[in-house]
């Protein structure tokens, strides 16, 4: 029976381009997982969007001299294009500044308030006389009260590394305007009483212990122990309004509303489809499974705080007895470093997706990032590794296998799949071995062990190369053409199976192989950018349209005699000169060029 699988993907801050860390941490694993379940015929709803609020947006907007809205819309558009280009198959990639998300977030707020989960507390924060507002932490500098360093930021001291309580900074000043006077002033804020969910959260965590990654589980269990209230409003003028009179000068804290996007985007998706209740198949269906793909820095927000919000509003928009579904699994990834060093936007130590997709095939990037995916520990993106993996594994083992077999068949068997009498036992054995991959690779993906799953699929690729060397159809063609036909047919069918087994990682080349084998149609549906209108505004979104998907997670039934298409290599071989070239780009400022999707 088809399952309902929700793939909730971390929402990127729309204050700069996406880089390989985003891809490795959340988007690629989510996409591999989603594509697999799509092939399986499960009902997949994969959503995410641009996080358009919060201080990072304001900071960058100030730097670029444009409004917060213009800034996030610029990066949102680039997110759509670059993710379309690298093939992240969101059912909906929207943003948090839609009327829908505002309304849903406000409904969360109101419901929590009605149920007594919100309380008002008074804080003392620094008020800017010049700007007539409370200044966010990151706009404040001062002298560290621990080490005495004069350049401490409002949230952390770069000298001693300690986190700062802004109000305790010595001689605090406005980072952007030394003339400004900062004075402590009291301000009221709503706090979410997280401590009231401790019991339910512990039960929730225990229920999932067996299938969660160890570090995610242990970390979360410990986090619950001293759970305390957190402010969900703040003094800022960019964000979602508080739906209460007298609170017009405050907005929701992003940590509170961004995660609601998983839910609100599902609601938006359903409405966009013309089936406004369809989202309940995931959110109010006790049989559905919700997976949150995130980086390790976000673990408590997804295993504790977001579940608490869901527990607090359960029943929202729904009359039935079913509770809101909490995440079934939160397979958090570690971080991907670059050439042995941490990603750093300010030092330009980064690999931007928009840039590398200008120079390399999306499946080459996807393959290497999947190989080096930081599933259990921080990993490293090195250009040497990229070069080696693409040339010696992806191209040499898989690309070459496809090329040698389709080429041989095309040339020696009149441009078609060879016609055969019966297969030999070793042919049947190979196919059985390869077809076993649907079970082994599939179950690894379901357990979100994506590196291991890819390794298993690639091991099967190598088995076909071994098989060919034993069967030697290029020799048999001279003395026993019928036997050569059996071997080539077998290899073609193995390739047809492997195309599917690798499709979650390599959707573009899967389609290419599908085409070479003479099939019509598409393995996957289409990724399109659509515009949606609301009451007063409109927004663009990346959408997966499954209409033309014909691929299924099932054994090949390749027919003898099927005409092949003229073979062409799947992958471009990389020159070793790219290694010094790419390393030379690290540390250099880059310009944001337009993103062109082929």
Smallest distance from the beta carbon of 526 to RNA, in angstroms?
25
Q: What does the angle CA 438 – CA 442 – CA 444 come to, to the nearest 5 degrees?
A: 135
Entry field: residues in the chain: 598
Q: Which is nearer to RNA, 459 or 597 (CB)?
A: 459
How many Å apart are CA 108 and CA 309, to the nearest integer? 8
Q: What is the dihedral of CA 296, 300, 304, 307, to 10 degrees?
A: -50
Q: Which is nearer to RNA, 190 or 284 (CB)?
A: 190
Q: Which is nearer to RNA, 131 or 452 (CB)?
A: 452
Instruction: Read off the tokens for 597.
Output: 């999707």
Q: Binder to RNA among 318, 349, 404, 476 (CB under 7 A)? A: 404
Told to check if 77 binds RNA by CB under 7 A, we report no
Q: Binder to RNA among 77, 107, 188, 380 (CB under 7 A)? A: 380
Q: Give the total of residues touching RNA (CB under 7 A).
A: 60
Give the distance from CA 583 to its chain's centroid.
Answer: 26
Smallest distance from the beta carbon of 339 to RNA, in angstroms?
10
**Among 127-135, 191-199, 426-434, 459-467, the segment contacting RNA (CB under 7 A):** 459-467
Q: Residues of 227-255 as b/e, b for ≥16 C-beta within 10 angstroms?
A: bebebbbbbbebbbebeeeeeeebbbbbb
Tell me the angle at which helices 481-502 and 450-471 cross, rounded to the nearest 10 degrees: 170
How many Å apart are CA 92 and CA 85, to the nearest integer? 15
**Among 272-280, 347-355, 396-404, 584-592, the segment contacting RNA (CB under 7 A):** 396-404
Instruction: Read off the tokens for 113.
Output: 């308030």
Give the distance from CA 442 to its chain's centroid.
Answer: 19
Asked if residues 503 and 445 have their Cβ atoms less than 8 Å apart, the reply is no
Told to check if 317 binds RNA by CB under 7 A, we report no
Give the distance from CA 332 to its chain's centroid.
Answer: 11
Smallest distance from the beta carbon of 462 to RNA, in angstroms?
4
Q: Which is nearer to RNA, 80 or 332 (CB)?
A: 332
Told to check if 539 binds RNA by CB under 7 A, we report no
**Among 28-36, 200-208, 346-354, 383-391, the segment contacting RNA (CB under 7 A):** 383-391
**Among 5-13, 203-211, 467-475, 526-534, the segment contacting RNA (CB under 7 A):** 467-475
Smallest distance from the beta carbon of 222 to RNA, in angstroms?
3
Asked if residues 19 and 350 have their Cβ atoms less than 8 Å apart, the reply is yes
Q: Binder to RNA among 8, 94, 382, 500 (CB under 7 A)? A: 382
Q: Binder to RNA among 148, 276, 436, 455 (CB under 7 A)? A: 455
Asked if residues 111 and 219 have their Cβ atoms less than 8 Å apart, the reply is no
Three-class SS of 6-55 = EEEECCCECCCCCEHHHHHHHHHHHHHHHHHHHHCCCEEEEEEEEECCCH
Told to check if 498 binds RNA by CB under 7 A, we report no
Enumerate residues 558-587 that contact RNA by CB under 7 A. 569-573
Place of tokens 């100030």: 62
- From the list 82, 119, 105, 336, the residue with the least C-alpha distance to 241 is 105
**Among 30-38, 59-67, 425-433, 460-468, the segment contacting RNA (CB under 7 A):** 460-468
Q: How far is CA 152 from each of CA 54, 158, 175, rounded to the nearest angstrom?
A: 21, 6, 10
Told to check if 3 binds RNA by CB under 7 A, we report no
Asked if residues 333 and 9 have their Cβ atoms less than 8 Å apart, the reply is no
- From the list 365, 359, 306, the residue with the least C-alpha distance to 336 is 365
Give the distance from CA 478 to its chain's centroid.
Answer: 51
How many Å apart are CA 247 and CA 360, to the nearest integer? 50
Q: Which is nearer to RNA, 105 or 379 (CB)?
A: 379
Q: Which is nearer to RNA, 145 or 474 (CB)?
A: 474
Smallest distance from the beta carbon of 129 to RNA, in angstroms?
28
Strand ranges of the sheet holding 182-192, from the earlier edge strand across to the other edge: 133-134, 118-128, 182-192, 230-231
Told to check if 435 binds RNA by CB under 7 A, we report no
Q: Which is nearer to RNA, 7 or 405 (CB)?
A: 405
**Among 5-13, 79-87, 292-300, 537-545, the segment contacting RNA (CB under 7 A):** 292-300
Q: Which is nearer to RNA, 211 or 462 (CB)?
A: 462
Smallest distance from the beta carbon of 215 to RNA, in angstroms?
4
Smallest distance from the beta carbon of 220 to RNA, in angstroms?
9
Q: Binder to RNA among 139, 408, 544, 553 (CB under 7 A)? A: 408
Told to check if 210 binds RNA by CB under 7 A, we report no
Told to check if 265 binds RNA by CB under 7 A, we report no
Q: Binder to RNA among 451, 565, 583, 585 (CB under 7 A)? A: 451
CA atoms within 13 A of residue 108's CA, in its CB half-sphere: 28
How many Å apart are CA 78 and CA 302, to the nearest integer? 26
Smallest distance from the beta carbon of 229 to RNA, in angstroms?
10
Strand partners, 542: 93, 529
Enumerate residues 339-378 that contact RNA by CB under 7 A. 340, 342, 371-372, 374-378
Told to check if 418 binds RNA by CB under 7 A, we report no
Q: Which is nearer to RNA, 380 or 446 (CB)?
A: 380
- Calculate Rg over the CA atoms of the chain: 27
Q: Which is nearer to RNA, 269 or 306 (CB)?
A: 306
Told to check if 54 binds RNA by CB under 7 A, we report no
Q: Which is nearer to RNA, 265 or 364 (CB)?
A: 364
Q: Which is nearer to RNA, 225 or 321 (CB)?
A: 225
Helix (H) or strand (E) holding 126: strand 118-128
Instruction: Read off the tokens for 538.
Output: 């409109």
Phi, psi of 452 (to 5 degrees): -65, -40
Residues near RNA (CB under 7 A): 161-163, 214-215, 218-219, 222-223, 296-297, 299-300, 334-335, 340, 342, 371-372, 374-380, 382, 384-385, 388, 391-393, 395-397, 399-400, 403-405, 407-408, 451-452, 455, 459, 462, 465-466, 468-469, 472, 474-475, 569-573
């Amino acid at each position: 029976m088809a399952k309902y699988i929700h793939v909730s993907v971390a929402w990127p801050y729309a204050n700069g381009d996406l880089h390989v860390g985003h891809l490795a941490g959340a988007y690629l694993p989510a996409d591999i997982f989603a594509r697999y379940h799509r092939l399986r015929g499960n009902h997949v709803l994969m959503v995410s969007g641009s996080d358009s609020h919060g201080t990072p947006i304001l900071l960058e907007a100030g730097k670029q001299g444009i409004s917060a809205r213009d800034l996030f819309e610029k990066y949102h558009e680039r997110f759509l294009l670059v993710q379309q280009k690298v093939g992240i198959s969101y059912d909906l990639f929207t943003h948090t500044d839609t009327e829908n998300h505002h309304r849903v977030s406000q409904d969360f707020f109101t419901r929590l308030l009605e149920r007594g989960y919100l309380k008002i507390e008074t804080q003392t924060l620094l008020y800017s006389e010049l700007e007539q507002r409370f200044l966010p932490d990151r706009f404040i500098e001062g002298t560290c009260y621990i080490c005495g360093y004069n350049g401490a930021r409002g949230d952390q001291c770069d000298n001693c590394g300690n986190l700062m309580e802004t109000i305790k900074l010595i001689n605090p000043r406005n980072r952007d305007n030394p003339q400004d006077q900062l004075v402590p002033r009291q301000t009221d804020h709503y706090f979410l009483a997280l401590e009231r969910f401790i019991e339910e959260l512990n039960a929730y965590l225990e229920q999932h212990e067996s299938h969660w990654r160890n570090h995610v589980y242990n970390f979360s269990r410990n986090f619950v122990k001293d759970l305390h209230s957190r402010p969900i409003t703040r003094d800022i003028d960019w964000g979602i309004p508080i739906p209460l009179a007298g609170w017009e000068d405050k907005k929701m804290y992003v940590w509170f509303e961004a995660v609601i996007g998983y839910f609100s985007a599902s609601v938006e998706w359903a409405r966009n489809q013309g089936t406004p209740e369809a989202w309940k198949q995931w959110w109010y269906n006790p049989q559905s499974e919700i997976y949150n793909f995130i980086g390790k820095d976000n673990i408590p927000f997804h295993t504790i705080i977001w579940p608490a919000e869901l527990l607090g509003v359960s029943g929202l928009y729904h009359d039935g007895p079913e509770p809101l579904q909490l995440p079934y699994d939160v397979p958090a990834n570690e971080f991907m470093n670059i050439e042995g060093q941490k990603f750093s936007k300010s030092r330009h130590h980064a690999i931007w997706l928009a840039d590398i997709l200008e120079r390399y095939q999306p499946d080459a990037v996807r393959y290497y990032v999947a190989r080096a995916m930081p599933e259990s520990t921080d990993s490293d993106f090195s250009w040497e590794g990229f070069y080696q993996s693409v040339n010696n594994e992806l191209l040499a083992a898989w690309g070459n296998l496809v090329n040698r077999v389709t080429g041989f068949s095309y040339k020696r068997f009149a441009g078609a799949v060879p016609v055969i009498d019966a297969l030999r036992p070793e042919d049947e054995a190979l196919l059985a071995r390869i077809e076993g991959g649907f079970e082994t690779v599939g179950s690894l993906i379901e357990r979100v062990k994506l590196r291991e799953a890819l390794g298993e699929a690639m091991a099967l690729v190598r088995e076909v190369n071994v098989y060919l060397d034993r069967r030697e159809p290029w020799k048999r063609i001279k003395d026993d053409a019928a036997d050569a036909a059996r071997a080539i047919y077998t290899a073609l069918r193995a390739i047809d199976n492997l195309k599917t087994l690798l499709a979650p990682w390599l959707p573009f080349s899967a389609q290419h192989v599908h085409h070479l084998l003479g099939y019509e149609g598409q393995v996957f549906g289409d990724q399109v950018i659509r515009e949606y209108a609301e009451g007063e505004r409109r927004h663009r979104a990346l959408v997966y349209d499954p209409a033309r998907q014909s691929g299924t997670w099932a054994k090949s039934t390749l027919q003898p005699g099927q005409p092949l298409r003229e073979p062409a290599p799947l992958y471009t071989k990389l020159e070793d000169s790219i290694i010094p070239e790419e390393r030379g780009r690290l540390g250099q400022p880059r310009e944001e060029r337009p993103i062109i999707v082929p």
